Structure 1
Amino acid sequence: DSPRYAAVAPWTHDADGVSTWEPPVSWRPLPRRDDTTRDDYDVIAAVNRHTVMPWGWTHEQDNSKLVVEEDGAVHELVREIGVNTYRNTDLSNDRAAHDYWAATQDYWAMVRGYFDNLETGTQGFHIEDDAEGTLLYGPVLEAGQRVLFGIATAEEAYAEAETLLNSQITVVE
């Protein structure tokens, strides 16, 4: 999805090869599916924990749908807790994934570099996005596709993506 669900936290690593990423509780906008169909809550207070283990990884969610009253009072409408488990597999037909990465890795390195610069060179940043989540991530992915199909170089595609990123990201001074 787009960075509307982004969070920042360090990874922790233990001696058994288990690494966990758990950001603090953060308020997030409604999921697209709810933003267009519901009006009974205003924001989600969310924690998403990712734990990588030798056999795969887990994604745990602990989310509260919150109602924010006009006087600023906040109350929980419902709490959702979920666990997704992913196991490493040996894919026999993973050539397309390897081909994609080989063709686009330089482009994605530039995109990651853009966000690395934001994270280390600013007090913070805010990303504007619409409820459909397509104004930012869709065109950035499409630029990567042009690299894959040889329509653009990584540098040309990144110049496009950078223009879009700059138009939707506000740096906090």
Structure 2
Amino acid sequence: MKKVSLILMLAVFVMSAQAQKKKKADDVKAIMDMCGCYEVEFNFAETFSPVEDYEFHDNYRSGALEYVFPVEESKDKIVLQHLLVIGDTMIIKHWRQDWLYENTDLYTFQKDNTWKYQELAKNDVKGQWTQKVYQVDDGPRYEGSATWVHVDGKSYWEAKSDAPLPRREFSKRDDYNVMARENRHEITEYGWLHEQDNQKVLRQDGDDKVLASEKGWNTYTKMDDDKCKVAVEWWAKNQAYWADVRAVWDELFASKSTVKIKKKVDNKVLFMPLFELQDKLLGADYDSEKAQDEIKAVIQKYLNSEQRLSLN
């Protein structure tokens, strides 16, 4: 009887391990299915407000051609970069999303351009993927952990995260300071969908006041990769610099200290001097060590005085 029980236990263990392996492979496929050349439509609408005299803002609608591709792949990490394609020659580096398997380290947004380190319990993230979303300057934006779901022919992931104001409202509004986001990424027949159910929150002294709810519906429709060929060529020329920018940020995040970023220095937001530095440094004689020192010098100006980046 003992021998039979051991065999059954072993069989259950093997079947469970195989199921977990297949599940992770399905997760990876779903994440990688977000790669490619896409026609993107961005749609946002305020839907409800608990504030009696709230004045609803106009709906937002925009579109772009966007190239999404992996810049890093390993067993438990996939880094996807987004590039906007404008016309036949112009490229704008857009947002970045990192996917980490069973990750326990988060930087959670508080308010006023401040992020705090949070450690999750290993049991709480078993089988989950963290999505870490970064600004165009590769600085922090928002992070959340959840399980990819594959059921009834659907593959989707959804999680809640606090975030700073979106770029479409960053310079236009100051009546709220936190976007409480509920993000859903779903793989579709046409490409993928980024669905959002957000709340615009005024956070003061630990008290949250919801001003309005918002619906986001962003569709990524797959196009022929040739339409994004210019983005592939641009990244080949610029990828070394942005790898160094990521390395500098990673050093800062590894400290696990609170990150607070100034909105402007010399009347410029952070991405401006970083983009200018890219144009200055890139060339045949590109020196990664020298570049990281100059990148650190730029980012340091935007950090609070308690945070210091080490020079090479």
TM > 0.5 fold call: yes
Distance of aligned partners of 1:61 and 1:72 in 2 relative to their CA distance in 1, 3 Å threshold:
same
Structure 2 CA distance for aligned equivalents of residues 122 and 68 of structure 1: 23
Distance in 2 between the 1:27 and 1:109 partners? 24
- Stretches of structure 2 that go unaligned for 5 or more consecutive residues are 1-135
- Structure 1 ranges of 4+ moved more than 6 A: none
Matched, 1:103 2:237: yes
**Normalising by the residue count of structure 2, what TM-score does the alignment of the two structures yield?**
0.43
Query: Which residues in structure 2 correspond to 1:6-155 (within 5 Å)?
Result: 6-10=141-145, 12-14=147-149, 18=155, 20=157, 22=159, 24-26=160-162, 28-29=164-165, 33=169, 35-36=171-172, 38=173, 41-47=175-181, 49=183, 51=185, 53=187, 56-67=191-202, 74-130=208-264, 134-147=268-281, 150=283, 153=286, 155=288
Work out whether residues 27 and 46 of structure 1, in 8 Å CA contact, stay in contact via their aligned partners in 2.
yes
Over aligned residues, Cα RMSD in angstroms?
A: 3.8
Q: CA deviation at 1:117?
A: 2.1
CA-to-partner distance for each residue in 1:63-115, whole Å, 9 max, x for gaps? 2233467x875432221111111122213243321121111111111111122
CA distance in 2, matches of 1:50, 1:134: 32
Where 1:128 maps in the other structure, the secondary structure is coil
Which structure's residues are more often helix, by fraction?
Answer: 1
Q: Answer whether contact 1:146 1:152 (CA < 8 A) is retained.
A: no
Larger Rg: 2
Segment drifting more, 96-105 vs 12-21 = 12-21
Cα distance change on mapping 1:134 and 1:152 into 2, 3 Å? farther
Contact 1:2 1:136 in 2 (8 A): yes
Name structure 1 gaps, 5 residues minimum.
none
State how far apart, in whole Å, the 2-side matches of 1:119 and 1:72 are.
Answer: 24
Match of 1:92, SS? Answer: helix
Structure 1 pair 125–73 and aligned structure 2 pair: CA distance change class (3 A): closer
Q: Which amino acid aligns with 2:250?
A: D
The 1:128–1:21 alpha-carbon spacing in structure 2 relative to 1, beyond 3 Å, is farther
- Which protein, 1 or 2, shows the higher relative CO under an 8 Å CA cutoff with sep ≥ 6? 1
Secondary structure at the counterpart of residue 8 of structure 1 = strand
